Structure 1
Amino acid sequence: MTPQTRAEKSAAAMWKTDTASQNLGMKIDHIAPGEATLSMPVTDKMLNGHGICHGGYIFTLADSAFAFACNSYNQLVVAQQNQITYLAPGKADERLTATAVEQSKTGRSGIYDVKVTGEDGRTIALFRGLSRTIKGQHFEEEMTQ
């Protein structure tokens, strides 16, 4: 199995039960080994008291992109620590995009950077996720040597 096929099958297996991302209108735009891009529309229900996208929704989008990127090797991976810095507001009725890229993967630990952008390309937030691999796989796969 190619690494790309493994990443796609892992994403499909995760997506099937990821009701949180699905119910927020997220879409997987790109998946590859150690990479994922997800997008999400900012709806009226996501606006805070300032009329901008609540930071929790931006964090959730970034966290979902991080999850799909670090789970792209058919190994179960969870978040160990995440940090986000907000740089600009998400606007009502725009589609936000989170692009996650693996920076390091050593043993059971990984580091992933996620950039959240608005439709006009402005940077909304920068997110760093630290991952930890646990036992299990997303789908049955024969291990080759």
Structure 2
Amino acid sequence: MSEIQPHDSEADIRRLAERDELARLLGVELVEGGPGRCVLRMAILRQHLNFYGGGHGGTLFAFADMAFGLASNSRGHIAFGIDAHIAYFVGVREGDVLYARASELNRSRRLGTYRIEIERQDGIRVASFTGTVHITEKPVV
């Protein structure tokens, strides 16, 4: 008789993060992860800026979306985004270090809702992202 192994959310998150080419390109690092949650870190570099010299909104959205993807795929089943919204509160500049903190608000058999708060190194909230995923029966590999 084989033993049922407990699901290792942190291992799934680390494995998925290592395969994320866009995260590597943007310099995003995984700080920690667990069931339905994760924390990412990213330093704002020149290539993350818009034409006015501030942090590009697309960079911030992508950063939040990465945390969303990792947190929503942390429970062993493939989940994919079906809706996402972001609100920007303050700008960021080159040299700022940002943290994306993802948390699970609700998860049912087929849907999950997540909130990602992006904060600067000084604790100031930069943006808030909310997303919903469709959860499949396929295992995360």
TM-score (structure 2 length as normaliser): 0.92
State the match for 2:68 in structure 1.
Answer: 66
Give the aligned CA root-mean-square deviation in angstroms: 1.2
Q: Whose strand proportion is higher, 1 or 2?
A: 2
AA matched with 2:24: Q
2:43 is aligned to: 41
Deviations 1:12-69 (A, max 9, x none): 3212321111111101111010101111111101111221110000001100011111
Partner Cα distance (1:31, 1:103) in 2: 16
Q: Distance between the aligned counterparts of 1:16 and 1:40, measured in 2?
A: 15
SS in 2 for 1:136: strand
TM normalised by structure 1 equals 0.89
Between the aligned partners of 1:2 and 1:124, the Cα distance in structure 2 is 36
Report the counterpart of residue 83 of structure 2 in structure 1.
81
The secondary structure found in structure 2 opposite 1:59 is helix
Aligned with residue 110 of structure 1, among 106, 112, 117: 112
> Partners of 1:136 and 1:2 in 2: how far apart?
17
Q: Deviations over 1:51-105 (max 9, x none)?
A: 1110000001100011111111111111010000000011111111100000000
Which deviates more from structure 2 when the two are superposed, residues 8-17 or residues 21-30?
Answer: 8-17
Which residue, 90, 93, 97 being the options, matches 2:92?
A: 90
- Structure 2 unaligned regions, length at least 5: none
Asked if the contact 2:14–2:30 (Cα under 8 Å) also holds between the matched residues in 1, the reply is no
Q: Is the 8 A contact 1:25 1:41 kept in 2?
A: yes
2:102 aligns with one of 95, 100, 103: 100
Cα deviation for residue 136 of structure 1 reads: 1.8
- Candidates 52, 55, 67, aligned match of 1:53: 55
